[in-house]
Amino acid sequence: MRYAMTIDTARRIGEVNPLVFGHFIEHLGRCIYGGVSDPGSPLADAQGFRTDVLAAMRKIGVPVLRWPGGNFASNYHWEDGIGPRDKRPARFDLAWRSVEPNTFGTEEFLAYCDALSTSERPCRPYICLNTGTGTLDEAVRWLEYCNLDAERFPSYHARWRRLRGRTEPYAVPFWGIGNEVYGAWQVGHATAEAYAQKCVQYARFLKAVDPGVKVVAVGADNPDWDLEVLRRTGNLLDYISIHQYYGRDDYYGTVAAAAAVERRLKLLCSVVDVAEAMLQRDRPIEIAFDEWNIWYQSRQRPWEEFYALKDALFAAGVFHAMYRLCTRVTMANLAQMVNALGMLHTTPTSLVLSPIYHVLDMYSNYTGRVVLDTALQPEDDEARETLSADIAVQVHGRPVPPPRVVKGVPYLDAVATLDGAGKRLSLAVINRHQSLTATLRVDLNQVRTRSGVEIHQLTGPDPMQQNTVERPDAVSPTTRRLGIWTGPVELPPCSVTVLEWPLQP
């Protein structure tokens, strides 16, 4: 397969918001207990946080972290998780049918965000509110506890935070008004109209407590639902959410699903366009893609997926979709960070980085934030071919779902970016073909580069290969440097490649 591409740094789509590299932790399986928090472990710090997990996440950066759910949020009462840990009540969790000890609560979550933060990439907390068994009054008290200045507004809950040893407000910026309330599986399931009425109340009074907070409304990946919610709440909210999970044993059924993600995001963008035409707003409504991942194997305890190279190619395709839609999709949260659907897996003595983690590393650290408008030109018949695949999620142990075929998916997919300072040009390319190498000829169109190009690549002979405790580096990225750029680059099958050129001033 032969392709050509011309890059012109003057043709720009927009800027990627760093929040699209966000993550999500939920009280599900071993995500919190045994993943994030593991007191007594020789790998834990004084706060009980796994230091190997912290180091891995600081390397890729966590610009925003969503918590406590997810489904768990819809019956979580935050005050159970405040105060001395040995006096906190254990509660039955309706979402996952487990007992929640509440030893990891608001203060621990916010301390964890601090622990994840670096000077270059601070971690901003995103709290999802309980709109199932919870109340508006409970939500407002939570915001008071986190964000209200106890000197200026000495309310009970602001003073309670100060008595707990925190004088300064936590300043939590993002607040989600419920989770997946469109679904019958959710505590607090509601119609779009009923949810929108509740959302208006929550948004209005959250902003009465702290006018600076950003609120996220539940989107259902359903144009009728989403338009109804936006029409009724759009003048008060900042984001509407969307969730997407895919994955199959079939290789093409997994990698092609990234094209379906892009099409669903484009559809939601169109719905937001329609809603904004009916609203009086001075800033656009943004999309929070606040749950996305591969999820098809472990739909029961301990809910742990072990991701393969094919799943990493899907993740790369999702980033390409978000880059191309960067003007509207401004936040995303991979679900989840560790163990339960985790891109990281812990054992009592070790940490395994999945291929999806390596894709996050490549895109977070080696691509730029200014997205360029580029087009791939196929140069032979093989390159002109596209793939079609059944992307319906096959859940192990359940009836086979009806086919859901996505057509016209290109084998090669690429995005070009610049860093904000104009010092680096990056090109990220996915070769989805399972057996053919692609040759890409890149014309830099008089872009003034300095000598040398770095090539970061994730690939392998078996797209089903996973990283395991026994073989933690079975699928790992490589980096090589070319002193002279000749134009064409070879892209092996089943690969993700990022090329970086340093630019002249």
How far apart are the C-alpha atoms of 9 and 370, rounded to whole Å? 9
- Which stretches of 234-372 are DSSP H helices? 251-255, 257-278, 309-324, 355-366
**Alpha carbons 296 and 287: distance in angstroms, whole number:** 25
For residues 136 and 111, give the distance between their C-alpha atoms in angstroms, rounded to a whole number. 25
| DSSP string computed for 122-169 | PPEEEEEP--SS--HHHHHHHHHHHH--TTTS--HHHHHHHHTT--S-
Alpha helices in 339-487 (DSSP H): 355-366, 381-384
The CATH number given to 14-352 is 3.20.20.80
Rounded to whole angstroms, the Cα distance separating 307 from 391 reads 17
pTM as predicted: 0.96
- Just list the catalytic residues: 180, 291
Asked if residue 310 lies in contact with residue 254, where contact means CB atoms within 8 angstroms, the answer is yes
C-alpha 89/C-alpha 91 separation (Å) is: 6
Domain ranges of the chain: 2-10+373-502, 14-352
**Contacting residues for 487 by C-beta, under 8 A, at least 6 apart:** 441, 442, 443
The HSE-up count of residue 482 (CA atoms within 13 Å, CB side) is: 14
Q: Which residues pair with 228 in a beta bridge?
A: none
Q: Determine the distance from the C-alpha atom of residue 467 to the mean position of all C-alpha atoms in its chain, rounded to a whole number.
A: 21
Q: Which CATH class is domain 2-10+373-502?
A: mainly beta
Per-residue model confidence as pLDDT tens for the chain (505 residues)? 999 999 988 899 999 999 999 999 999 999 999 999 999 999 999 999 999 999 999 999 999 999 999 999 999 999 999 999 999 999 999 999 999 999 999 999 999 999 999 999 999 999 999 999 999 999 999 999 999 999 999 999 999 999 998 999 999 999 999 999 999 999 999 999 999 999 999 999 999 999 999 999 999 999 999 999 999 998 999 999 999 999 999 999 999 999 999 999 999 999 999 999 999 898 999 999 999 999 988 777 788 999 999 999 999 999 999 999 999 999 999 999 999 999 999 999 999 999 999 999 999 999 999 999 998 999 999 999 999 999 999 887 778 889 999 999 999 999 999 998 888 999 999 999 999 999 999 988 778 877 789 999 999 999 999 999 999 999 999 999 988 777 799 999 999 999 999 998 7
- As a whole number of Å, the end-to-end CA separation of the chain is 35
Residues 6+ apart with CB under 8 A from 55: none
| Gap between the Cα atoms of 497 and 500, Å rounded | 10
